[in-house]
Amino acid sequence: MNARASELAYLFEAARDFSRAAEFFLIASERARQVFADRESLALAHRGMEMLQALPATPERVPRELQHLMAIALPAQNVLGYAAPELEDTFRRVHVLCDQLGENPDLFGIVTGTGAFHLMRAELSRTEQSVDLLQSISDRIGHPVMSIWTEWSYGTLHGHLARDLVDALAHLDRGTSLYDPALHAGFMIMTGFDAGLGCGFQGARVEWMLGRPDRALARITATVARARELSHPLMLGFALFFEAWIRQHARDPRGVLAVTDESLGLVEQYGYPHLGAWSRILRGWALAQTGFG
């Protein structure tokens, strides 16, 4: 189906029907992302944006441009990293277009992407603005994917700010309680990240920070097991990184080596430079502790 969408896109481009060409490049990009072909997805998304920019700059083009920008951002996060400088112009344009549209439920997935971008760049005041907007949209719509994402965003942000770790954990727990693995596909299509699993591994991190090592290890073990069942390499990679992080803090270098063996295998196969960098840091510590290397 991806090949057929690509063929149609190129045929419409040759016929100079740039609107239909953009539509099919977007479809082809999304289908490539669903089978973890992020580099192909990114190339198709860029091609679709070229087609869209050949159209007149009308108000009707704004929501379509936002779709194409996110089609670029989601695979680019996996190919280049969440905080990659190449994404700065993309998200700057996203902010401009979102301001034109105002608060709109259809923007939820876009706001999650901008929030993740700012969080990974430690731009926490901008992240807080995104969390507030997610909360506003989620309160009005009440969809579980939105509710869980909002709880994850709040808990993760405040867990990093360390304002009130108990409150941050309560939000992450609420997200976990709302989660059903059947929501996994919806998370990955809308935002490229399963915030339900995210509540699990961020909750484990906050448990450790609260001085509860046994509960932290139990939480991350359960989250890794669930990630294995869902079989998405990105989410398994995130869960494994947090397991390695907890094992590092538990002074278990051999455990860290075993976990990073697996996580770096995923990085080698699929990309994910951010996960690769984080995992190599922990692996370096473990090698130094054990004298391997």
CA distance 172 to 166: 10
Least confident of 31-35, 108-112, 182-186, 211-215: 108-112
Q: Is the dihedral of CA 64, 70, 76, 78 positive or negative?
A: negative
Regarding predicted confidence, which is higher, 106 or 14?
A: 14
Contact 105, 111 (CB under 8 A): no
CA distance 29 to 126: 28
End-to-end CA distance of the chain: 46
Tell me, what's the pLDDT at 108?
Answer: 84
Tell me, what's the pLDDT at 150?
Answer: 95
Q: What is the pTM of this model?
A: 0.87
Percent of the chain with pLDDT over 90: 66
CA distance 122 to 241: 19
Q: Which runs of consecutive H residues, i.e. helices, occur in 35-120?
A: 38-53, 61-80, 88-101, 108-120
CA distance 151 to 212: 21
Whether 1 shows a pLDDT value over 60: the answer reads no
Domains and CATH numbers, the chain: 103-218 (1.25.40), 232-293 (no CATH)
Residues 6+ apart with CB under 8 A from 187: 145, 148, 149, 193, 194, 195, 196
Structure tokens given for 259: 């976990």
Express each pLDDT in 86-101 by its tens digit.
Answer: 888 888 888 888 878 7
CA distance 47 to 25: 7
Q: How confident is the model at residue 2 (pLDDT cuts 50, 70, 90)?
A: low
CA distance 117 to 87: 8
CA distance 219 to 191: 24
Contact 24, 12 (CB under 8 A): yes
CA distance 272 to 238: 10
**Three-state DSSP state, 10:** helix
Angle at which helices 233-249 and 253-270 cross, to 10°: 160
Phi and psi at residue 57, in whole multiples of 5°?
A: -80, 80
Contact 191, 109 (CB under 8 A): yes
Q: How confident is the model at residue 34 (pLDDT cuts 50, 70, 90)?
A: confident
Q: What share of the chain is helix, strand, coil (3-state, %, to 5)?
A: 85, 0, 15
Express each pLDDT in 148-173 by its tens digit.
Answer: 999 999 999 999 988 899 999 999 99
Mean pLDDT over 36-59 rounds to 93
Regarding predicted confidence, which is higher, 2 or 161?
A: 161
Least confident of 65-69, 98-102, 187-191, 267-271: 98-102
The region that residue 122 occupies, defined by phi over 0 for left and psi between -120 and 50 for alpha, beta otherwise, is left
Contact 244, 279 (CB under 8 A): yes
CA distance 21 to 38: 20
Structure tokens given for 129: 């603005």
Which amino acid is residue 242, in one-letter code?
F
